[in-house]
């Protein structure tokens, strides 16, 4: 079946502009995660949704970052007043409802590469 879909694949914005990144999770996956991956590094956790509820936003780097998932399916990560340090790949992952030791495997999309000029 279809995997996690993210759009746009590439986004270039000028410093100070607002951007919105979209994630379509695998159908039926109730858990959705956003990660940020800097060049040459491993992904870092940003925020977590279970259905429409944002249960963990401890990884969001500042109040300029905002995420939502209003109907428990598609999610949007918004960054306001972008800065150069926001340049990175933003990855979305989804998984089935938690059960079992350690939870369910997370499946990633191909990410959005954000470049701030």
Partner 1 sequence: GENVEQHPSTLSVQEGDSAVIKCTYSDSASNYFPWYKQELGKGPQLIIDIRSNVGEKKDQRIAVTLNKTAKHFSLHITETQPEDSAVYFCAASIRRDGAGNMLTFGGGTRLMVKP
For partner 1, which is the closer residue by CB, 1 or 100?
100
- For 3-32, the three-class secondary structure string (H helix, E strand, C coil) is CCEEECCEEEECCCCCEEEEEECCCCCCEE
Q: Least distance in Å: CB of 27 to partner 1?
A: 18
Task: Name which position in 12, 44, 62, 83 contacts partner 1 (CB under 8 A).
Answer: 44
As a whole number of angstroms, the distance between CA 116 and CA 84 comes to 5
The reply to whether 66 sits near partner 1 by the rule CB under 8 A is: no
Sole residue written with tokens 């960054």: 79
Residues with Cβ < 8 Å from 93, sequence gap 6 or more? Answer: 4, 32, 33, 34, 35, 106, 107, 108, 109
The reply to whether 40 sits near partner 1 by the rule CB under 8 A is: yes
For partner 1, which is the closer residue by CB, 14 or 40?
40
The reply to whether 59 sits near partner 1 by the rule CB under 8 A is: yes
Residue numbers of the site for partner 1 (CB under 8 A)? 4, 6, 31, 33, 35, 40-45, 48, 50, 55-56, 59, 91, 98, 100-111
């Amino acid at each position: 079946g279809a995997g996690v879909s993210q759009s746009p694949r590439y986004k270039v914005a000028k410093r100070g502009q607002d951007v919105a990144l979209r994630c379509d999770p695998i159908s039926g996956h109730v858990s959705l995660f956003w990660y940020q991956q800097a060049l040459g590094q491993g992904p870092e956790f940003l925020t977590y949704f279970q259905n429409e509820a944002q249960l963990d936003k401890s990884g969001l780097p500042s109040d300029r970052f905002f995420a939502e998932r209003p109907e428990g399916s598609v999610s949007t990560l918004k960054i306001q007043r972008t800065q150069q340090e926001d340049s990175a790949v933003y990855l979305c992952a989804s998984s089935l409802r938690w059960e079992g030791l350690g939870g369910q495997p997370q499946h990633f999309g191909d990410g959005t590469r954000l470049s701030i000029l």
